[in-house]
Structure 1
Amino acid sequence: MRLPRVKPEHAPHRLGDGTVRLGGVLYGIASEVADPGGCVWVALALMDGTRSPTRIAAELRSRFADLTAEESDEVVTALIRSGHVEEADPGPCEALSEQEKERYSRSRDYFRWVDVTPRDHGWEPQLRLKNARVLVLGLGGTGSHVAWSLAASGVGRLHLVDPDDVELSNLNRQILYTEADVGRPKAEVAAERLRAVNSGIEITAEDARVDDPAELGRLVDGCDVLALCADHPREPGGIRTWANRVCAEAGIPWVSGGYDGPLVSVGVFGPGGPCFECVRAGIPPRPGADFAWPGVTGASAGISGQLVAHDVVAIITGLMVTPPGYFHGLALLDPDEHVYARYPSRTDCEFCY
């Protein structure tokens, strides 16, 4: 890094005992550094984008006589590696056009905030999205919001699959359709709408029903992530079980979400974590519980879809705080109730990663 600068969102704060806190109070991002002598605090103040690491280390030594060259270099290096510091004069990113940079400028601001990996120019997460291929299976209440969000976020290739036509009862929650679309294939309409949202990505569509694992295997072939938003065939032994096994064999991460009335939940699975069947086996059974029961509003479907899209983006960009292998979500009638379930792999599981 040529000219390190502390990210504005990660501005340091000094606690009463001398500890330095970076990154605010955001879970998975914030860091605390013991700094009884004050050299870390001074080093951060010097990281204003006008000095090289070598110069910062030299100024530290001039202010702290007992600090060795090795120690001052170590302080500067550790702070740069922490991810709370960025390059003040980043090099060019030629893989994105100026139009793309303008379109995704707010996304870059978000990624630079939450990303604690030192980067050359800050566009690396967006480039990962541009080079990714995602299958969105199911374009209903959850899936329509997922597809819109991923297209708007700049996922380079989206393949949309749904066997159904648009119905009037869909319009209370399915964001991509209008009254004029009733009777038309959802996949066709969704692709048409999303091409108007983002003409810079490739969007393909397929009016297909997944009736067996082999068909699902055909669809996920060549994808980086599966966004599973279909709810048929239902569990046990249904579409999510098929996805668990097909994606395990292919080494593809997948995210699935939906709603049981006011309960919105999302599952994140893939290499590095316990599989869907192992996590599901640890959750106590609840009579009637399943994704996509009839009761739903535009808001509850939107929350479901946006949570799925968030996790898909986190997987692609590498910005996931928690390894795969869990369910999470929220109960809309109880804002204090956060849903989280993670259980270890069963010893006899043949599908775990």
Structure 2
Amino acid sequence: MRRPRVKAEHRPHRFADGTVRIGGEIYGVAAEIDDPDGWAWAALSLMDGTLPTSALVSRLRTIFPEMSVQVAESVVAQLVDSGYVEDAAALPPPELAPQELERYSRNHAYFRRVDLTPRVHGWEAQLALKKARVVVLGLGGTGSHAAWALAAAGVGRLHCVDPDVVEPSNLNRQALYGEADIGRDKAEVAVRRLREFNSAVTITGARRRVETRPQLAELIAGADMLALCADEPRGHGLRVWANRECARAGIPWAGGGYSGPLVTVGVYAPGHPCYECVSAGEQARRRPGSPADLGGPGVIATSAGISGHLVAHAVITQLTGVPAIPPGRIGGLNLIAPDQLIDVRHPSREECPVCGPGRDGH
């Protein structure tokens, strides 16, 4: 790093006892440094983007004559490696055009705040999105919001698939359609509308019903991730197909939906507990004979919107690694009981053909 600078969002604060907090008050991002000698505070105060690393080391040794070169270099290196520091001399990557730098400037600010991995220029997450190809299967309540969010975020290639036409009952929650679209193919309307939102990304679509596992395998061929937002075939089957075919393809996938006020998203990836293991673990917790609630027609714009945005967020985290949320879990919330957050995790089963020992994805 040529000219270290503390990220603006992470300005440090020093307490009376000498402890230094860096990262603000954001849960999961802030850190505290035990700094009895004031070395970290002095180094952070000097990191304003005007001094190269060698000059920082020299200035530290001027402030603290007893500090050796090795200790000063170590202090600077540890702070740089913490992820709260960026390179003030870095230039945006040439792969992003000036209009993209402006369009995604708020994305950049978000990723800079939450990303604690040292980066070359800070646009790595946006580049990862630009290079990605995502299949969105299902363009209803969840999928329409997810597709819009992914297009707005700058995912480079989106392929949108749905077998249905727009109906009047869709309009209370499905964000890509209007009254003039009733009777038209959802995929066709969605592609046109998404292109209007972001002409810099490649949007394709197909009116297609996925009825077999081989059809799903064909659909995700060459994709970097699947956003599963369809609810047909009903029940467990479609998600099992996604679980196994994405494992065979070596790509992550996210699936979300709603059941009344309960909104959830699951995210899975190779090397982590799979959908079938997480589902089996959760089923084992229920009383024997308890029926599974697979949802119903009860949904409003907010529950569908939250569902779709949770799916889009899961896709973004897996494509960029920012934030580094491990897959193999189901998360969500209950809109009529805000204190009831959902966080379901279960380990891989030994006998699982997808994520257990000796797995082959069949």
TM-score (norm 2): 0.94
Specify whether residues 17 and 343 from structure 1 end up closer, same or farther in structure 2 by C-alpha distance, changes over 3 A only: farther
Asked if 1:297 corresponds to 2:296, the answer is: no
| 1:34-69 C-alpha deviation (Å, 9 max, x unpaired) | 211110011000001111111111111111222111
- Matched residue, 2:231: 231
Q: How does 1:76-225 map to 2 (within 5 A)?
A: 76-225=76-225
2:358 is the counterpart of 1:351: no
1:273-324: CA deviations, max 9, x gaps? 100000111113453422x521100011000101110111111111133211
Q: CA deviation at 1:214?
A: 0.4
Is this contact kept in 1: 2:3–2:52, CA < 8 A? yes
Query: Residues 332 and 32 (structure 1 numbering): CA distance in 2 closer, same or farther, change over 3 Å?
Result: same
SS state of the match for residue 59, structure 2?
helix
Q: Is the 8 A contact 1:272 1:324 kept in 2?
A: no
Residue matched to 1:330: 333
- C-alpha separation between the residues in 2 aligned to 1:11 and 1:330? 32
Q: Kindly indicate whether the alpha-carbon contact (under 8 Å) linking 1:258 and 1:265 is maintained by their aligned counterparts in 2.
A: yes
Which amino acid in structure 2 is aligned with residue 329 of structure 1?
G
The answer to whether the Cα contact below 8 Å between 2:114 and 2:323 also exists between their aligned partners in 1 is no
What does residue 320 of structure 1 align with? 323
Aligned equivalent of 2:342, options 336, 339, 342: 339
Hey, what's the Cα distance between the residues in 2 that align with 1:288 and 1:16? 55
Are the counterparts in 2 of residues 266 and 329 from structure 1 also a CA contact under 8 Å? yes
2:28 maps to 1:28: yes
Alignment partners' CA distance in 1, 2:213 and 2:19: 54
SS in 2 for 1:335: strand
Provide the secondary structure at the position in 2 that maps to 1:108.
Answer: helix
CA separation of 1:113 and 1:295: change in aligned 2, threshold 3 A:
same
In the other structure, the counterpart of 1:277 is 276
RMSD: 1.3
Amino acid in structure 1 at the alignment position of 2:327: P
Task: Give the partner amino acid of 1:185.
Answer: D
Aligned residue-pair number: 351
**Deviating 4+ runs (over 4 angstroms):** none
Which residue of structure 1 lines up, in the alignment, with residue 247 of structure 2? Answer: 248
**What is the alpha-carbon distance in structure 2 between the residues aligned to residue 164 and residue 15 of structure 1?**
60
Shift of 1:24: 1.9
Q: State the identity as a percent.
A: 57
Helix, strand or coil: the match of 2:255?
A: strand
**What amino acid sits opposite 2:104 in the alignment?**
Y
Match for residue 13 of structure 2?
Answer: 13
SS at match of 2:337: coil
Cα pair 1:235 1:241 within 8 Å, conserved: no
Gaps of 5+ in 2: 357-362
What is the deviation of 1:16? 4.2
- Where does residue 291 of structure 2 map in the other structure? 287
The residue matched to 1:215 in structure 2 has which SS?
helix
2:90 aligned counterpart, secondary structure: coil
Query: For the residues of structure 1 that align with 2:296 and 2:58, how far apart are their CA atoms?
Result: 64
Q: Which amino acid is the alignment partner of residue 101 of structure 2?
A: K
Give the match's secondary structure for 1:134: strand
Distance 1:303 1:322 in 2: 18
Letter of the structure 2 residue corresponding to residue 300 of structure 1: S
Secondary structure, counterpart of 2:62 in structure 1: helix
Question: How many Å apart are 1:341 and its aligned residue?
Answer: 0.5
Amino acid in the other structure paired with 2:163: P
CA distance in 1, matches of 2:244, 2:16: 52
Partner Cα separation in structure 2 for residue 314 and residue 302 of structure 1: 18
On the 8 A contact 1:20/1:41 being kept in 2, the answer is: yes
Residue aligned with 2:298, SS: coil
Q: Which amino acid aligns with 1:331?
A: N
